[in-house]
A = this chain, B = another copy of it.
Amino acid sequence: MSILCYAADMSLRIALLGLLDATGPASGYDLAKSFERSLNHVWQAGHTQIYPELVKMAADGLVAVESEGARGRKIYAITPEGAERLRSWLIEHEPTGAIRSEVALQAFLLPLLDKESAIAVVERIRARLQQRLAVLECKDPSKFGRYALNLGLSQGRSGLAWADETLAELRGLEPADQPAPAT
């Protein structure tokens, strides 16, 4: 609305500014790799989103092309203005707790399934969570993103605990409690 009202979300911008601030100048390609490696469990973005966004951010003065290397490689650096924008977002932005989780949606709808199917679904969810957790557990906890890593570990473990409790509950159900196995 007002000129002070920036676009709704901007989290992609913030993530890019954060990476540039934390690890120094980088190309779009580097940033895409960083997303995959370090930011993966927190935010995702592919190169097709990153390249145009960097151009817009440069137009807004938040980053600048520091140098151009081999093969048309363009190295972006964060500007002081960008660093300030990053800090003020961190300090001022009230994060929306809103979550869209396919896992949670499946959990919500579990009662629609018969016992066997529900158990199979939860087992698959459990396997998936375990796999994700294993990836996080391999990461270096002394690195930059360690607070988010701890958060991911904590959430992953609590998801696993939920899956185990739910499996126990489902297995303990009397067959009579089940919905009809549908025609």
Contact = CB atoms under 8 A, between A and B. Distances in A.
Interface residues of A, number: 63
Contact of A42 (B87, B99, B125, B158): B99
Contact of A111 (B22, B43, B95, B120): B22
A155 interface: yes
Nearest to A124: B94
A91 interface: yes
A6 interface: no
Interface string A112-143: 11000100110011001100100000000000
Contact of A128 (B22, B97, B104, B120): B97
A50 interface: no
A77 interface: no
Contact of A41 (B21, B104, B159): B104
